[in-house]
Structure 1
């Protein structure tokens, strides 16, 4: 039987109009030649009812129509599930499952909205506004997928399966034409929400089982020793460009991200017994603490701009967009033939400044403020490549100095 043979319509039971002019909403479910009716367990104003919906834009109207859409979507999803395993599906069977599902079981988008609402309450505590935004974006794509590809306003958790996940992945790649890294992010956000539902006992089987989104191989870019030397020694033509350079170099030699540099104050500086100055702070992105011993160059930069930043900040920071525009001019001035972004400095600290010089992975992870060491591991391949090059160079030097008698 084709899904076109399944219809869900709504009407008012006008002979039970109450004193406020509201009537019970009834549903009529047709599956092929079988038909049944059911109560939607809602009331609607008789004066606003038109063509199976309530007209108007009030909060009450919107909520009634949303719940009617969910009932229709649930009925269609139930039929799809049942028809996949049985040839003959009757309207009464769908009705029985529908009433249990619609009034006792969560749907995906409804649960996703609740998840986001709870997540946003934690922004500034142990969650970031950027992460909340990524969940909202993922939600919007799921909602669009349901509407455009499945013609549904929502879907019950029990209707989710591996096929749904694969189709959504394909939709993001072909219909939305998103970048592979963005697809990985949104699929991860959806999986997190579904895992929460599994933990809450709403769904028992994980529809993501066996799914693995192809992850693009990301090349971690970093500045070489020679490029760092050019940045430090090339004369520049304006104080503005010198400040851009100094802020960038500060990140190169500390690994501190732009957003965290903006938050630094003198209170983040601590000096230990042997005179080593440390920056101790908490990452805005992950709320993970980090501790970094300062090398001579970042100490010099702090002294150079001491008491020049407003609000007792440690450094006078430009806006991120302005800073990246300045980095474009800085690259040209220093004859660096690549695009410089501020985040490149953090990569440089992880590779050229620390890992490549034998600093242990666990130490680098703590200084970068990573919540897991495997996050730091992404820099290891770059470091291994550099170690291989340095080892070959060492081998040639040894060969020049020593010979073995045969």
Structure 2
């Protein structure tokens, strides 16, 4: 990138003397009329400093050495300027100073930030969260590639970069997906990028946060769940294939306990405890938040555990249920939905939603208890399900009103109060 900015280097001496009557020499760099001084850590007697020529007067060894040092410094500063300019940097006096001083924070790149962030979150976040960050990082790299870039300096990131990244995500079709990302998915990716950029800002790799005027916007969406009738049909359906039956049972167990797929797949007999009521409970830590979760096991859930107690795969794995990958489980759920005539997109997220709505809240369980069973750290998260139920009640009432209105419009044969006396 060619720059029209002007660059100059001058030396000056602070007129304040030290106890030896000497003054400190500085280099002043000017970039587009913005000045910055660098202490050269060199002192000279005030009477030997020529403020016109910016040199040390005389032919003494000390004078010659200082003037040589000034020449070397000027050459190195100019070299720093040229290297940054060649690297397509948007140059500032501060960046040139940092580069010259060996503090290259201002020359950090987005790929360097991604690598640093990836190392930083290892072992500190849940596997699912780390995987989500990795997906976002891959989209950032794809976005750079779409602009014929391998990397970009953090100092080049601005509001337009964020807007362009959003446009890229909106139009991008992920592999294996029939449609582009939803608005909320796009916002999630931008949110994760924002967290990485904020880290760079706090590390002082950035002078200003390009996200400072950015606002993420999320659309309110209804969380899908199975109705009581749909859940019953799914539970009683007889599958001809054992693999589908196994995944259906995993889904049902999640519906009856609210335990997520990630946690469910790791359950072992050690996770089954006896409570004070002498009944069996599942006790585990949520992988996502590391929150302790204790769920009493209903008879339907206990029967599913017993069903697979002596299954060959569980005996090998030591888990409560035969292990299966998330990808394969989701693939089988599509077959299960089709076999049962369900138009809804079955996922293990939906199983948790079904537990929260159809199984618990709809049957009068207090929202505080449901929140604890789900392992939510905020009651506001659980209240989303309550709002979903309110909407369902409203829809059902509207249907009832339509039925009643249609009945009231049906003409009825008048009944006479007169009796015929013969």
* Separation in structure 2 between the aligned mates of residue 337 and residue 165 of structure 1, nearest angstrom: 37
Cα deviation 1:20-49 (Å, max 9, x = unaligned): xxxxxxxxxx99xxxx9646999xxxxxxx
Please tell me whether the aligned partners of residues 356 and 387 of structure 1 are also in contact (alpha carbons under 8 angstroms).
Answer: no
* Separation in structure 2 between the aligned mates of residue 149 and residue 102 of structure 1, nearest angstrom: 29
TM-score normalised according to structure 2 size: 0.65
Shift of 1:201: 4.7
* Separation in structure 2 between the aligned mates of residue 100 and residue 108 of structure 1, nearest angstrom: 18
Does residue 256 (structure 1) correspond to residue 259 (structure 2)? The answer is: yes
Alignment RMSD: 4.0
Q: Structure 1's 104 and 302: CA in aligned 2 closer, same or farther, altered over 3 A?
A: closer
Match of 1:290 among 282, 288, 293: 293
Aligned to 1:115: 117
Cα deviation 1:222-260 (Å, max 9, x = unaligned): 111111121233344344443333222111111112221
Q: Structure 1's 238 and 197: CA in aligned 2 closer, same or farther, altered over 3 A?
A: closer
Does residue 222 (structure 1) correspond to residue 225 (structure 2)? The answer is: yes
Structure 2: state its 5+ residue gaps. 6-30, 33-73, 175-179, 404-422
- SS of equivalent residue, structure 2 residue 188: helix
Does residue 77 (structure 1) correspond to residue 94 (structure 2)? The answer is: no
* Separation in structure 2 between the aligned mates of residue 107 and residue 349 of structure 1, nearest angstrom: 47
Does residue 170 (structure 1) correspond to residue 167 (structure 2)? The answer is: yes
Please tell me whether the aligned partners of residues 253 and 295 of structure 1 are also in contact (alpha carbons under 8 angstroms).
Answer: yes
Aligned to 1:192: 195
Does residue 324 (structure 1) correspond to residue 330 (structure 2)? The answer is: yes
Cα deviation 1:169-224 (Å, max 9, x = unaligned): 23433478861344222211121122223444554643222312343443311111
* Separation in structure 1 between the aligned mates of residue 151 and residue 336 of structure 2, nearest angstrom: 51
Structure 1: state its 5+ residue gaps. 8-29, 43-51, 53-67, 80-91, 398-406
Shift of 1:150: 8.6
Aligned to 1:10: none
Equivalent positions of 1:6-405 (< 5 A) are 38=76, 71-72=84-85, 76-78=89-91, 95=96, 99=100, 103-105=104-106, 107-109=108-110, 110-120=112-122, 122=123, 126-143=124-141, 145=143, 149=147, 153-157=151-155, 159-174=156-171, 179=181, 180-203=183-206, 205-308=208-311, 309-310=314-315, 311-389=317-395
* Separation in structure 2 between the aligned mates of residue 174 and residue 396 of structure 1, nearest angstrom: 42
Q: Structure 1's 145 and 348: CA in aligned 2 closer, same or farther, altered over 3 A?
A: same
TM-score normalised according to structure 1 size: 0.67
- SS of equivalent residue, structure 1 residue 376: helix
Q: Structure 1's 113 and 357: CA in aligned 2 closer, same or farther, altered over 3 A?
A: same
Quick check: which has more Rg, 1 or 2? Answer: 2
* Separation in structure 2 between the aligned mates of residue 336 and residue 152 of structure 1, nearest angstrom: 45
Q: Structure 1's 209 and 373: CA in aligned 2 closer, same or farther, altered over 3 A?
A: farther
Number of residues paired by the alignment? Answer: 329
Q: Structure 1's 151 and 4: CA in aligned 2 closer, same or farther, altered over 3 A?
A: farther
